[in-house]
Structure 1
Amino acid sequence: MSERFFLYDEKEVTKTRFVSFLGENQRFDLAIVQTDRHYGKSLVLDMQGSRFAIIGQDDLQEEGYLEHVFNLEEQEAEELRSFLTELV
């Protein structure tokens, strides 16, 4: 077997918040990872939907972004956006 070529292999202490809340139409089970790696953005993992995204305030303001990355309807995405705006 050939030698493995790493682009990077680093360890970092992170702050992770696990949160579950009910919206009008959907339950959200999230893990929100804060790290220095992504320039102040947070890694948001949807544990039920098996989707994730690196999200900052600029991403929350981008029309259709949450709908696309988390496969949500507009109303569901607005509930998630409202919650994440408080965190990131």
Structure 2
Amino acid sequence: MSDRFFLYDDTTQAKTRFVSFMGEEQRHDLALIYSDRHYGKVIVLDMLSNRFAIIGQDDLKEEGYLEFAFGISEEKAADLLDFLNEIIY
């Protein structure tokens, strides 16, 4: 068996915020993970669909990004976009 080659193996402190809210189209149950990794972006986990994305303000400005990342319709993404615009700087 060959030696394992790690690109990195770090342990960091992270803050996790759990949020649940009802939008116009659907309920959103999210876990938001803040850490020093990912250039200040937030790991957003959708606990209902088991999908996640690493999101920053630049990603929120990209048309269709949330729809693609979370596999949701434009209408459902609108609620999520409104919320994420409030908390991601």
Using the size of structure 2 for normalisation, the TM-score is 0.95
Q: Distance in 1 between matches of 2:40 and 2:69?
A: 19
Deviations 1:31-54 (A, max 9, x none): 000111111110000111111101
Aligned to 1:87: 87
Aligned to 2:64: 64
For structure 2, which runs of at least 5 residues remain unmatched after alignment? Answer: none
**Structure 1 residue runs of 4 or more that deviate by more than 4 Å after TM superposition:** none
Q: Which structure 2 residues correspond to residues 1-88 of structure 1 after superposition, within 5 A?
A: 1-88=1-88
What is the CA distance between 1:28 and its match in structure 2?
0.6
What is the CA distance between 1:5 and its match in structure 2?
1.0
Q: Distance in 2 between matches of 1:28 and 1:40?
A: 23
Count of matched residue positions in the alignment of Structure 1 and Structure 2: 88
For structure 1, which runs of at least 5 residues remain unmatched after alignment? Answer: none
